[in-house]
């Protein structure tokens, strides 16, 4: 809820200025030393070589000086790293410091409400919940409750009893009228992360944890690996543009292979991935060297050959095609819930999908909305920083649209994007989500320390690496218990919050229960802030003007209407 983005406390400003002056003096020192260190090493190597003629003990010193002198000479002459050409030997310290920068930042600079993407307070809350130790915090909030963007939830004078064993007892059913195998889902599940992005031990720990706690584990787009199957936890099978696990030789969708896997009872739902918040509309390449025998088996591709995930789906190209694909997957899976995951880009594309649902009569059983703040194993910075709707307005948009189009009661909406605390989950649910998924929350549960090296195969705690030596850090049974406990304790905290609000189930949350301070300082109930639509108003033609215009210009023929009005963004919630 409330942000911490206000003025930095004096202690933090002091630490930043100390760090800045240390960096400045460090840089000045390095510049002064320049290449002198190299020549000093050369000199010492020569002097100790001469002294070795007097006493062989000097040869011991040679063990240090000769390699350093050789390293320095190599640095001086190589053409790849500018810093090493100017600062031989010394430049390596910079690389080493850069490498451990995130850790140093955490240990030396970070405050409790500081640290990105997850601050220290939130990280330690996740660790404590995963370890099953006391998670209370003494002495009151460190957040600035007068922050211009601060938001909070309204408790009740008459709280309700807390639902016991909420992990099991506060569930939802996913599956619309056309689904013959609806899924009784937890309100918190493990978000999509492929085997490949995660190592085998992390996949196993997550799946075993999901099994213990009775919640679902999304495979991610990399197919269903042997590690997803070993412990038998509920799976959501994600189908991305690479169609891994149901792919023909040309890289397109293969219905027979899909049916063979989708009918497996461990698979509870099918999720078509349209996009993810951290890199919406970005495809992927898995280089040949990374296509090991295990990864090839999960993805059903040849070992040692580069694999491409295109930016777009080949199985459909327009909104009606998407609905037909949903219908096909539902039929081939034997009637399991089928939905799609996306990060909202242009709102009108969703409007076109709503038209297609009505025109084809094929409705997704669920939509997962991923916020632009979502995580990834690797993505271009521009995509993570500057593309896609953040979660809150995206959720309002999807929920609002489906209400206005008369479709909301036929589907469930999931939300992902930093859903790691009960308050974050409760506010998403108040804005329209039926359940939440967490990726990085469960990564923290299996030991992630936020060192942000996921793409390098050198994860120090064995979570996002395929290196067996590093994976030794992650002991599957121990971390599976943490995955289970993180789930149960987070859902338990959510049960306490909603009880304090006078509610019995998260489905009773609504936007009128969130208050926020907006620009100008006024405090508003969120339901007044967002322009919420009434049921069927888009169909009846009674929606507010801009929303109705968006609906009227869109059709199920194209994701974007030809001749889109450029004057505004219909259906964008008011800000």
Ligand X SMILES: Cc1cc2nc3c(=O)[nH]c(=O)nc-3n(C[C@H](O)[C@H](O)[C@H](O)COP(=O)(O)O)c2cc1C
Contacts to ligand X by CB under 6 A: 191-194, 197, 220-221, 238, 273, 276-277, 341, 370, 374-377, 416-419, 438-441, 454, 464
The interface with ligand SF4 within residues 424-443 (CB under 6 A) comprises 443
Q: Which is nearer to ligand X, 436 or 538 (CB)?
A: 436
DSSP 8-state secondary structure symbol assigned to residue 286: E
448 contributes a contact to ligand SF4 by CB under 6 A: yes
The interface with ligand SF4 within residues 451-510 (CB under 6 A) comprises 451-454, 459-461, 463-464
* Packing angle, helices 422-430 and 476-500, rounded to 10: 50
Distance CA(327)–CA(335), nearest Å, equals 9
The DSSP code sequence of 94-114 is: HHHHHHTHHHHIIIII--TT-
Q: Which is nearer to ligand SF4, 301 or 443 (CB)?
A: 443
Q: Which is nearer to ligand SF4, 203 or 430 (CB)?
A: 203
CB of 22 to ligand SF4, least distance (A): 25
Q: Is 558 helix (H, G, I), strand (E, B) or coil?
A: coil
Q: Which is nearer to ligand SF4, 257 or 452 (CB)?
A: 452
420 contributes a contact to ligand SF4 by CB under 6 A: no
Q: Which is nearer to ligand SF4, 309 or 450 (CB)?
A: 450
Q: Is 321 helix (H, G, I), strand (E, B) or coil?
A: helix
Which of 200, 376, 450, 481 binds ligand SF4 (CB under 6 A)? It is 450
CB of 368 to ligand X, least distance (A): 8
449 contributes a contact to ligand SF4 by CB under 6 A: yes
Please, what is the Cα angle at 461 between 458 and 466, to 5 degrees?
A: 50
CB of 118 to ligand X, least distance (A): 9
Q: Which is nearer to ligand SF4, 69 or 202 (CB)?
A: 202
Phi (first) and psi of residue 11, to 5 degrees? -60, -40
CB of 104 to ligand SF4, least distance (A): 14
CB of 424 to ligand X, least distance (A): 9
Q: Which is nearer to ligand SF4, 449 or 569 (CB)?
A: 449
Contact between residue 298 and residue 290 where contact means Cβ atoms under 8 Å apart: no
Q: Which does 441 bind (CB under 5 to 8 A by kind): ligand SF4, ligand X, none?
A: ligand X
Distance CA(319)–CA(298), nearest Å, equals 29
Q: Which does 451 bind (CB under 5 to 8 A by kind): ligand X, ligand SF4, none?
A: ligand SF4
Q: Which is nearer to ligand SF4, 9 or 460 (CB)?
A: 460
Q: Is 538 helix (H, G, I), strand (E, B) or coil?
A: helix
Q: Is the peptide bond before 390 cis (omega within 30 degrees of 0)?
A: no
Contacts of the segment 507-514: beta carbons below 8 A, 24+ positions apart:
507/172, 507/429, 507/434, 509/426, 509/429, 509/430, 510/430, 511/396, 511/430, 511/431, 513/153, 513/154, 513/430, 514/1, 514/151, 514/152, 514/153, 514/154, 514/427, 514/430, 514/431
CB of 535 to ligand X, least distance (A): 29
Q: Which is nearer to ligand X, 403 or 425 (CB)?
A: 425
Phi (first) and psi of residue 517, to 5 degrees? -90, 125
Candidates 4, 120, 110; CA nearest to 444 is 120
Q: Which is nearer to ligand SF4, 407 or 463 (CB)?
A: 463
Q: Which does 448 bind (CB under 5 to 8 A by kind): ligand SF4, ligand X, none?
A: ligand SF4
Residues, the chain, total?
Answer: 575
Contact between residue 246 and residue 315 where contact means Cβ atoms under 8 Å apart: no
Q: Which does 191 bind (CB under 5 to 8 A by kind): ligand X, ligand SF4, none?
A: ligand X
The DSSP code sequence of 39-95 is: HHHHHHHHHHHHHTTT-TTHHHHHHHHHHHHHHHHHHHH-SS-HHHHHSTTTHHHHH
Q: Which does 463 bind (CB under 5 to 8 A by kind): ligand X, ligand SF4, none?
A: ligand SF4
Q: Which does 452 bind (CB under 5 to 8 A by kind): ligand X, ligand SF4, none?
A: ligand SF4
Q: Which does 272 bind (CB under 5 to 8 A by kind): ligand SF4, ligand X, none?
A: none
Candidates 337, 358, 343, 398; CA nearest to 172 is 337
CB of 304 to ligand SF4, least distance (A): 25
Q: Which is nearer to ligand X, 122 or 548 (CB)?
A: 122
Distance CA(6)–CA(146), nearest Å, equals 9
Q: Which does 453 bind (CB under 5 to 8 A by kind): ligand X, ligand SF4, none?
A: ligand SF4
Q: Which does 459 bind (CB under 5 to 8 A by kind): ligand SF4, ligand X, none?
A: ligand SF4
Catalog residues that contact ligand SF4 under the rule CB under 6 A: 443, 448-454, 459-461, 463-464
């Amino acid at each position: 809820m409330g942000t911490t983005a206000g003025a930095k406390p004096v202690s933090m400003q002091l630490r930043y200025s100390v760090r800045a002056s240390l960096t400045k003096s460090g840089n000045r020192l390095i510049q002064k030393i320049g290449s002198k260190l190299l020549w000093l090493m050369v000199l010492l190597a020569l002097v100790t070589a001469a002294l070795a003629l007097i006493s062989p003990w000097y040869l011991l010193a040679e063990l240090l000086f000769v390699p350093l002198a050789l390293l320095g000479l190599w640095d001086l002459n190589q053409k790849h790293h500018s810093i090493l050409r100017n600062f031989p030997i010394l430049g390596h310290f910079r690389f080493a410091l850069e490498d451990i920068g995130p850790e140093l930042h955490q240990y030396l600079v970070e405050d409790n409400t500081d640290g990105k993407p997850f601050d220290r307070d939130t990280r330690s809350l996740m660790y404590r919940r995963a370890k099953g130790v006391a998670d209370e915090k003494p002495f009151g909030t460190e957040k600035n409750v007068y922050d211009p963007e601060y938001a909070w939830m309204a408790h009740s004078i008459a709280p309700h009893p807390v639902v016991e064993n909420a992990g099991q007892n506060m569930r939802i059913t996913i599956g619309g009228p056309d689904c013959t195998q609806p899924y009784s889902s937890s309100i918190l599940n493990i978000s999509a992360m492929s085997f490949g992005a995660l190592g085998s031990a992390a996949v196993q720990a997550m799946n075993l944890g999901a099994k213990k706690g009775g919640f679902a584990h999304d495979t991610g787009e990399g197919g269903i690996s042997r590690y997803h199957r070993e412990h038998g936890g509920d799976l959501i099978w994600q189908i991305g543009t690479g169609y891994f696990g149901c792919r023909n030789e040309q890289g397109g969708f293969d219905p027979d292979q899909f049916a063979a896997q989708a009918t497996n009872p461990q698979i509870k739902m099918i999720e078509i991935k349209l996009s993810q918040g951290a890199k919406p509309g970005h495809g992927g390449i898995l280089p040949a060297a990374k296509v090991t025998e295990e990864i090839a088996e999960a993805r059903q591709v040849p070992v040692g050959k580069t694999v491409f995930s295109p930016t777009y789906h080949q199985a459909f190209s327009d909104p009606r095609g998407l609905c037909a694909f949903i219908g096909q997957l539902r039929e081939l899976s034997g009637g399991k819930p089928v939905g799609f995951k996306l990060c909202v880009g242009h709102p009108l594309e969703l409007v076109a999908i709503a038209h297609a649902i009505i025109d084809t009569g094929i409705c997704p059983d669920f939509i997962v909305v991923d916020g632009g703040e979502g995580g990834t194993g690797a993505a271009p910075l521009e995509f993570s920083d500057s593309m896609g709707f953040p979660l809150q307005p995206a959720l309002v948009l999807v929920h609002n649209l489906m209400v206005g189009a008369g479709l909301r009661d036929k589907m469930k909406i999931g939300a992902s994007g930093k859903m790691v605390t009960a308050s974050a989950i409760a506010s998403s649910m108040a804005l329209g989500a039926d359940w939440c998924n967490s990726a990085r929350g469960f990564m923290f549960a299996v030991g992630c320390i936020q060192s942000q090296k996921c793409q390098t195969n050198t994860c120090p705690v064995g979570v996002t690496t395929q290196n067996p030596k590093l994976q030794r850090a992650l002991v599957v049974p121990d971390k599976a218990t943490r995955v289970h406990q993180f789930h149960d304790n987070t859902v338990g905290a959510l049960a306490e919050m909603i009880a304090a609000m006078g509610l019995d189930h998260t489905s009773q949350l609504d936007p009128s229960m969130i208050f926020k301070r907006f620009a100008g300082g006024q405090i508003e109930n969120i339901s007044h802030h967002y322009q919420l639509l009434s049921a069927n108003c888009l169909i009846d033609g009674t929606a507010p003007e801009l929303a109705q215009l968006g609906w009227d210009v869109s059709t199920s023929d194209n994701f974007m209407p030809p001749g889109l009005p450029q004057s505004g963004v219909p259906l964008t919630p008011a800000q």
